[in-house]
Structure 1
């Protein structure tokens, strides 16, 4: 199991999904607590409610970058589009072999790479997505650093 996922086990046991886990990491980085935002991120879980939509690591990562880069609700970072584009482009390249960025594509691809079956009709276990989650978090941190977001939130 990925070491980052071990730190997130309390959230995993509460049933948090990938997008929420990325926000949990961002809240630790920003030293803030926003329960409402965590609840809102739930809407991105499992390909947007098992609709076949994009993986929560993609949408959640973009949302986390937007949140980390904002000074307030009315003043987004001037480079937010470039940041989210960089993240999305990286994610699409990273998951290209899985046949798409949908939650089902990504989880099926991860399961196949691990030689594990995907639960029938269910969502992938977090252990399956843990390494990709860690890679996504590292990419978010790289973008965070390269755009000097340390001072963005007030």
Structure 2
């Protein structure tokens, strides 16, 4: 994969949102595509569309953890470490990204409570750091982010 920050900027310029970008980067690492999933993740953008929901970078990161460690078919089980990985992501996000904020909603994270949409200059760094942390969490828990 090319530089994740460059890829992220390219994807944002194409109109993809925070959660979509995090998943697109993860899928690219695996050499996969899944347009239906990417389309579904658009529902997480801008705090579930109103700014009042959880930051899409955090929810998108949680979806990537689920992609690698969740149950997807009748004949498989979720990785027993998935709840721990989700907890690690949530704690990190609250301590690193939301430490000086009132919460983890999109509007709170981007300091935009007027409902005019996220401040993209704030979002880029949040998305990049969250993607990096998700990859770190996977590796810390014995999951290769490049494996199928």
Is TM (by shorter chain) over 0.5? yes
Gaps of 5+ in 2: none
**Structure (1 or 2) with the greater helix fraction:** 1
Structure-1-length-normalised TM-score: 0.82
- Tell me, in whole angstroms, the C-alpha distance in 2 between the residues paired with 1:119 and 1:105: 7
Question: Where does residue 42 of structure 1 map in the other structure?
Answer: 42
Q: Against the structure 1 CA distance between its residues 151 and 89, is the aligned structure 2 distance closer, same or farther, given a 3 Å change threshold?
A: closer
RMSD, aligned CA: 2.3
TM-score between both structures, scaled by the size of structure 2: 0.85
Any residues of structure 2 matched to 1:37-116 within 5 Å, and which? 37-50=37-50, 52-70=52-70, 72-73=72-73, 74-94=76-96, 95-108=98-111
Given candidates 116, 123, 132, the residue that maps to 2:117 is: 123
- Which structure 1 residue ranges, 5 or more long, are not aligned? 109-117
How many residue pairs end up in the alignment?
Answer: 143
Q: 1:79 Cα deviation (Å)?
A: 0.8
SS in 1 for 2:49: helix
